[in-house]
Structure 1
């Protein structure tokens, strides 16, 4: 599957950049959709990332230089004030000096570091979008665009503009298979998985939420949305209660019952099992590792067969995640997986022309495809994959 129309315009040449990346060649051979991945890397990404490399070095150099100047200036002022006796013992008030340094760095170098952040975001957008193209998927960082911000005044103007968008609901929108999402409205989740998992008691209570790295699309008639989420409690002692991936997949046919699944050690944190009965899985190993409740025992065992559970565990393993849980009902599967930051497309502090940025993105997208495919029945997808 996947729209190859964009790839047909690529030159038919094979550059040295392609031949020098064995891992990329192996990924291209792993599934038909990635056939053109080596040429996307050599003919599209290599030239563009190379063009941005000088800007990356200059941007980071400027941010580091401004930070050093700000910190050194504060240190000199503290030394002068202490030596001249203006304020006795000021040099030894380390907490005050450190706090002042941080404020100075934020004021003097904050805009420069903002440009570094913007470059990292733009690099992610470029690489992940290129990785999504062969599959017909869409990617959006959901990050604000800091392009054109040169000083504190322009930053303040941009912040004012964002607040106006947030309050009016008239900001930029991201299209998803489940409707348009307002990027400046942090109260609205870009994936149905959030509300479904919260209603099922599979997300701990929180009052703050943030979303980034949205991947959406359709595969063999199954619409999906994947997004990274960070949920936290409010107040002075705010605590992060969830950081990881939310996945929502809608299948062409409805499920007969309602099934809740979670890693056994996590289940005590949220169990809304009214009308559900505990399910004994086919595999004893999986039975120990997961707790499952359902209104339809037969369907639950069929859905969570060993081969399908292995696809879930493979996703969990790749992202070094844990506490996997999910809901199967009304023709959709919604999953939550706790993990650190994903879909980063490499460090901004390393050279941009590095094929691992692209290969890691392709690998992660391949796992998403495997997950979707594993829960599709043969009748649903006959002739479509």
Structure 2
């Protein structure tokens, strides 16, 4: 039986989104139907609306979500109706060369549900990141559901589905921040703020937050930063070096995705230090660095895919840290809104007025 539910749809590039009735099928083999309880408004959703991902309109937006499994298809194991789950957009295959090497967080063949969700007239929808969770119900691959402790409120838990996990994992998984390390995070939006919190939780002795918005820098101090640098008022590289004994940081997380901030990250790290790129650049962007500097400074230049997370490992662990009072997911929730407020949330995002708006259903 198909399900008619309300959802947020982007029909045309740059046009305001609309709340419409869509059709969600019952789960087929390997699929799960999830009743969405909350979904964060992420920059990626705005990129979809603006045609920055691809032009496969209409899009069913939303992907940073948590909810309850309502039904599962044939062959599904590990989850069952009633389970509280966080949705993820990298359901690992278990068979590709990355998975076979024991590195499933690099899976090269992640998958989504195969049945389409549609408009009432039968037009197929393109779900954001294979999820589409600005909806009362959504259809996903069962592997996109990670069961976690239901004591966690959905508005906070769902943020692990994208931005918070990407930032936390960039510092902890990709950057391998350890006790006593010095860390700089360039860009303090939702992803960067999670990197700040993750670095501090991992035991970094100094966590330097870098941004050009004083409001974000002030907020970073409440999330674990020990120092801040206003990039609009001085030389970022010099400031980070001054705060690290003249050497530079052991790990620099670039959470903006621009050539100029990547160059800052490259030169703000210590010799043999690590740069982690988690900010997403646009296709035309290029970075130029003297090859001799790349060689001479040593260390590692890494990209972080989804915080190099393994949802089955990382989501439950972070929820346990949250419930134990060690990782404040609530601090990322600036406001809770309804399905009809997503367009306004995009405007607030442009102005830097929110860390996360979260749709609560």
Q: Shorter-normalised TM-score: what interval?
A: under 0.3
* Higher relative strand content: 2
* Higher relative helix content: 1
Instruction: Return the TM-score normalized by structure 2.
Output: 0.26
Instruction: Return the TM-score normalized by structure 1.
Output: 0.25
